[in-house]
Amino acid sequence: MNHKIFKLSLVVTMLVFTSCIKEKKADEPSNKMETSKIYSGKAMTHDYDQKIDSIIVQMTLEEKIGMLHGTSMFTTSGVERLGVPELKMADGPLGVREEISRDSWAPLGIDTDFATYYPAGGGLSATWNPELAYLFGTSVGEESRARDKDVLLSPAINIIRTPLGGRTYEYFSEDPFLNKKLTVPFIVGLQENDVAACVKHYAANNQETNRDFVDVQIDERTLREIYLPAFKAAVVEAKAHSMMGAYNKFRGEYLCENSYMLNDVLRDEWGFEGIVISDWAAVHTSVNSLNSGLDIEMGTPKPFNEFFLADRLLDSVNAGKISEKEIDVHIKRILQVMHTLKRMGGEDRAKGSINTEAHFKDAYDIAAESVVLLKNEDELLPINAESIKSVAVIGHNAMKKNALGGFGAGVKTKREVTPLEGMQNRLPESVKINYAEGYQERYAPKKESIFGEVT
C-alpha cells in the first residue's frame, strides 16, 4: 500500500474537522482556563419550605414511599391530589436519550424523541474551554426542558484511569483540575434551564469491570486531590441539585449506603442541599441506605414495589426500624428540588427548544475545537484536493453511526455525519474515495474480502 495513502487512512476521523480548526492568533490568550469568566450556580431556594411542610403532613406514608423509588424506568411517583407531579429523569452525557418503556429498556419507537447528539466528554475536555462547557450545558439543558425532563443524568465526571474503561469516553479527563474547570460551567448552564444536573458517578467509580461490587481502597489524600475535586466543585461552586450514588464499594461499604461519603463529606462538609439518586440497581439495603444519605432508589426492570425503598421500607417503618419523621427528611429534600426547578407550579418555567440549527451548531463548534492534531508529517493535512486523485478510508467505524451505541449515553438524532460521509461531503468529485472495512468483526458473517479496492 502506498505510504501516503496509509497515513491518510490513519487520520480519517480528523479530516471532517480539519478545515474548521482556527490558527491561533498572536493576540489570543494562551490559557483559556485563566482567561475564562467565573461561573457560579444558584443555591437551592427555601422560600417555599412552609408550603412544603404543609404538603408533607397531608401525605400518607404510602405516598411518601412512592416518591423514594422508581415507579417507572425514569420516574418516581407524584401525589396528584396535592399538586405534586412525577419527577422525570433522562440520560445522559451526550444528549437527551430516546424515550423508553416505563417498565423495560425497550425504546418506545416514537418520532418525537429526537435530540441533538453532542460530543463526548473527552471531546469537550480536549477544547480546554470552560466557555464551551457552559455552552454545552446550556444547549443540552434547553433540549432537556423541551423533552419535559426534570433531571438530566449528567455530567459524568469520574477521573479517567484507563483508556480501556467502558465509560471512559463519557468522562472529561484524567486531570482533576481540568475536570473541575469544565464541570462547573456545564452544570451552571444546564441548571439555568430549570433542569437539575445529576452529577455522576459519586464516587471512585473508575472502571467497568466488576463495577457493581469492586471495593475501592483509596487513602484520604489521594481521594481529596485526585478523585473528589470535580465533585466538590459541582456542589460548592455550581450548586448541583442532585448527585448519583455509584455502584461500587468504597472502603468496604457500597456508595449508596456509605455514610462517610454521603453524609460526612457531601452534606456536612460541602453543604450539599440536593438529592442523592442511586445508579440503577445500586441499592442493597432499605433503612441503612436512607440513614446513610440516599434519597431515591432507581433500578432495573423488575416489579418496582420490590425495590429496597419500596415495600421493604414500608415494612421497616411499620416495624419501628425507621421513623416516618426520617422519611419526611428525604421527602422535603425532593420537594425542595422540585420547587427550585419550578416544578410545583406558580412560576414560569423554561420552555426549552430541541433539534434547532443553533444546537446543531453548538455541537459542531465543540467538536471542531476538540480536534488536536499532534503530528502532521509532510503537511499532510489539510488535504489539498488538487494534488491527489484518491483517498483510502479503512475501518468499520468510518461508516458507523454511534449516537445510538452508547446505552446510557446514547442519543436518537436526526443529524450525524460519519467520517466517510464527512470526506465525501468535503472532497470534490475529482477525488476518488475508496472504502474498505479492513478487519473482520468477531460476530459478523465472514466476507471474502475486507480490503476491496484499497489493497
Catalytic residues: 279
Cis omega (within 30 of 0) for bond into 396:
no
- The amino acid at residue 119 is P
306 Cβ neighbours under 8 A, 6+ residues apart:
312
Residue 366 class from Cβ within 10 Å (0-12 exposed, 13-18 middle, 19+ buried)?
A: buried
Spatial contact of 265 and 216, defined as CB atoms under 8 Å apart: no
Cis omega (within 30 of 0) for bond into 92:
yes
Q: Which cell goes with 146?
A: 423541551
CA-nearest of 255, 133, 249 to 197 is 133
CA-nearest of 371, 412, 362, 410 to 186 is 362
- Going from the C-alpha of 370 to that of each of 17, 188, 235, 401, the distances in angstroms are 9, 21, 27, 19
**Which ranges constitute the DSSP H helices of 306-443?**
311-318, 324-340, 357-370, 419-426
- DSSP class of 174: S
